[in-house]
Chain A
């Protein structure tokens, strides 16, 4: 990147593509009209929004009328779960989700528990995979919703979404998936996969922040999320974020065009980093599944050291990464995802997440590992846990 920073936190957010910015700019100035207006200037904006909606619908193999624009992934998750609970609450009060969901899903479920809903939080295996047998067994006559993420944001594990969709359909239960990390990284077909609702965000795919969409299958009863104007088929009122919508669609279009080439490149760099770390840094545990894994995700726990210290030292060498350590979350508990895959607290504290994007290179990967080796050694040298382990062994 231009500022000599090696950005490897692409699961947190991505830089906007230049072509996306160019596509958006006119909508801040000359194409500023409110799409609801009657004049031609407004009709033009309305048509552009409609085209964007069609393009996004095509990208997941559905009709344009099933795409509802939102402010992003968290809003889409909140809307899908709360509105489904409200619409179907008279038929049942049970929801199934997993222990490794994004907080936007987990905390929404927690909120619903306080409203009298019952939530089953499924365990995952040591690689972060949901057991579909366990999922099916958890379905009860009063189950109204299953929400399982497409791919995990921390450890990159890709869930068996197609099988989950089949099971949900077989039992007549709604299926929502948070596809914020998976969209444009893996192929998604909501028809084939029996997905009823799906959350997507713009800024994870080299698009703008503050825009996303919720896909809702036609026929799913779902209440309005924001009351007011007639936008989004009366379900989410408010003047459209036109520039954001245009940017999201352009970003999706570009990401789908180069998906195969881009993700193959990311996989190659990812596997190189994983291979070098496993070969060159002792006491490093790979978190997440080796094959059912997002192209850009590397997640390791380095035993006997703590994540935040690693991040600060990496930052000092110009590398941006993240960690599931408690110190980076503002609480005393490390990441719920790492605990759910069975890591001990102290191992979870020592985790490092590297998420690659289209701008990363093999040279950067080597620079990362070279520096990481030194940083891990230095922190271990300082660690009483490492000293105790060495004493025990010798």
Chain B
């Protein structure tokens, strides 16, 4: 069901944990739906992401997308990190099963939520960054019978 990369990032997740005195923290998802991601960013004065950590409650894909997202934004500037989309996360993981695509959306949202928090604390605006939705919402369930 999962690619080798997804399994690797789930079983050996990178950058699990918290950052004390983080520059920005974002939490997205909904326990009701079974996924919550929290992303911590440590950003220096040149707006470069020096460190990134995460904690996730969720399935294998939720953990793997969080892990990959932290790897993709590490060392990037804030503006570059904004360009890390859910598609980029999925491609880096060699794809996800269709029912798990929402996990990659959640990973993108988590980055944006942490950046939004950072911008708020700094009193700055980041071009192209919108206030993230906390809940990515329920997808339509197919009609049965």
Contacts and interface: CB of A to CB of B under 8 A. Distances in A.
B36 to A, nearest CB: 6
Q: Is chain A's binding surface mostly helix, strand, loop or mixed?
A: helix
B124 interface: no
Contacts, number: 81
Nearest to A110: B145
Contact of A313 (B11, B57, B99, B145): B11
B57 A384 contact: yes
A250 interface: no
Contact of B63 (A304, A309, A325): A309
Interface string A344-373: 011001000000000000000000000000
Contacts of A381: 16
Contact of A383 (B57, B139, B141): B57
Interface string B129-145: 00000000011010011
A387 interface: yes
B144 A107 contact: yes
A51 to B, nearest CB: 39
B31 A345 contact: yes
A114 B57 contact: no
A334 B38 CA distance: 22
Interface residues of A, number: 30
Nearest to B11: A316
B10 A312 contact: yes
B56 interface: yes
Contact of A312 (B13, B18, B34, B60): B60
Nearest to B66: A382
Contacts of B2: 312
B59 interface: yes
A7 to B, nearest CB: 19
Interface in B23-65: 27, 31-38, 55-63
Interface residues of B, number: 32
Contact of A385 (B11, B36, B138): B36
A114 to B, nearest CB: 7
Interface string B1-22: 0100001001101001010000
Nearest to A383: B57
Contact of A306 (B27, B57, B141): B57
Nearest to B34: A349
A193 to B, nearest CB: 31
Contact of A326 (B18, B33, B38, B61): B33
Given A309-B60, A326-B34, 16 more contacts: A110-B144, A306-B35, A306-B57, A306-B59, A307-B59, A327-B34, A327-B60, A345-B33, A346-B57, A382-B13, A383-B55, A383-B56, A383-B57, A384-B27, A384-B55, A386-B57
24 contacts: A110-B144, A111-B145, A114-B145, A306-B59, A306-B62, A307-B59, A309-B10, A309-B58, A312-B2, A312-B11, A312-B60, A326-B34, A327-B58, A327-B60, A327-B61, A327-B100, A330-B99, A332-B34, A332-B139, A334-B34, A345-B34, A383-B56, A383-B57, A385-B31
Interface of A: 107, 110-111, 114, 304-309, 312-313, 316, 325-327, 330-332, 334, 345-346, 349, 381-387
Interface of B: 2, 7, 10-11, 13, 16, 18, 27, 31-38, 55-63, 99-100, 138-139, 141, 144-145
